[in-house]
Amino acid sequence: MLDSDRIGEVVLDVKDLRTYFVTRWGVVKAVDGVSFQVRRGETLGVVGESGCGKSVTSLSIMRLVPSPPGHIVGGQVLLEGDDILELDDGEMEEIRGSRIGMVLQDPMTALNPVFDIEDQVGEALKIHKNMSGEGLKANVIEMLRKVRIPAPEVRIKDFPHQLSGGMRQRVVGAIGISCDPAVLIADEPTTSLDATIQAQYLRLLRELQEQTGVGIIFITHDFGIVAKMCDRVAVMYAGKIVEQGDVRQIFNKPAHPYTEALIQSVPKMEEKAERLYSIPGQPPALWALDQSCAFADRCRYAFDRCTAEYPDMFELEHGQLAACWLREKDKVATA
């Protein structure tokens, strides 16, 4: 169910995206037919175990896949209707940091230690909005105020090391929204920082969204955080989306066994750590996939068909999508 006051039109429409790496082991199909949409004011979670293709998906959307060995070999990425995969490098440069941005959780990797805050927050405004002088300075102060940095007219002369971790994150947030992008990508590293910093980061993302209505892609391996943060979720496994839909719907009633296992491995407050469930086995190598469901050999429900044929994507009630043969009987359509 969409919250129609908060969530608006589609700002990012990813269609059948394919990004492959040519390696000496073979072709790594890191992203293989990924489709999803992000609406204004909405947060889409992209969740899955390490190596499933989450970061390559976000790098593909930013057109930052290292090439060689990586190539976007197919699909469309429509940003407010424009296919950014068709743009030349110069045009893409203009879009990056203005209409689509990234916010990193670890601010030290995002900020340059040798430039002050004014320079770093002002850079995108200078490049993309042709601002300079007092106008630029006033805008930078306004951005810092938006992310609730106290006394911004003084703090703009600070260097990153003079700010606390939380303040540095806020500066990164200010850079992220400085040009009022339609989409922000937040790619959480697998080894997350300490719990306080992470909580601050999640709060910051929420504030940025409330202030600007930006559509957010939130990338994580933790379904617990998705349940707290996101409106919708796309579950990735071995380069493909295996389930997608409303977060509450999926959290209460996962349709794909992989999603069920991910949810089961979320720590619960009342349970002791030693009882924490982890999914048995390992994800498959992405250069050696065959026609079977990639999750079949770890799936407690797998049957003959799962190894013979990759499942179709079935549309279930409430728009939930799942690529699993078990769900064929529940489908309202084949997506």
Using CB under 6 A, list all residues that contact ligand ATP: 21, 23, 28, 30, 48, 50-56, 66, 69-70, 190, 221, 286
Least CB distance to ligand ATP at residue 288 (A): 11
Q: Is residue 236 classed as helix, strand or coil in its secondary structure?
A: strand
The rounded distance, in Å, linking the Cα atoms of 148 and 158 is 16
Least CB distance to ligand ATP at residue 99 (A): 23
| Closer Cβ to ligand ATP, 155 or 221, answer by number | 221
Q: Which does 53 bind (CB under 5 to 8 A by kind): ligand ATP, Mg ion, none?
A: ligand ATP
Q: Which does 81 bind (CB under 5 to 8 A by kind): ligand ATP, Mg ion, none?
A: none
Least CB distance to ligand ATP at residue 50 (A): 3
Least CB distance to Mg ion at residue 218 (A): 12
Structure tokens at 101: 């941005």
How do beta strands 82-83 and 240-246 pair? unpaired
How do beta strands 314-315 and 333-334 pair? antiparallel
| Closer Cβ to Mg ion, 36 or 325, answer by number | 36
| Closer Cβ to ligand ATP, 60 or 98, answer by number | 60
Least CB distance to Mg ion at residue 54 (A): 5
The rounded distance, in Å, linking the Cα atoms of 153 and 130 is 21
| Closer Cβ to Mg ion, 104 or 261, answer by number | 104
Long-range contacts of the stretch 190-199 (C-beta < 8 A, 24+): 190/50, 190/221, 192/105, 192/222, 193/105, 193/106, 197/105, 197/165, 197/166, 197/169, 198/105
Q: Is residue 103 classed as helix, strand or coil in its secondary structure?
A: coil
Q: Which does 28 bind (CB under 5 to 8 A by kind): Mg ion, ligand ATP, none?
A: ligand ATP
Letters for 32-71 (x = contact with Mg ion by CB under 5 A, - = none) are ----------------------xx----------------
| Closer Cβ to Mg ion, 237 or 325, answer by number | 237
Q: Are 169 and 203 in contact (CB under 8 A)?
A: no
* Cα of 67 vs its chain's centroid, Å: 21
Q: Name the site residues for Mg ion (rule: CB under 5 A).
A: 54-55
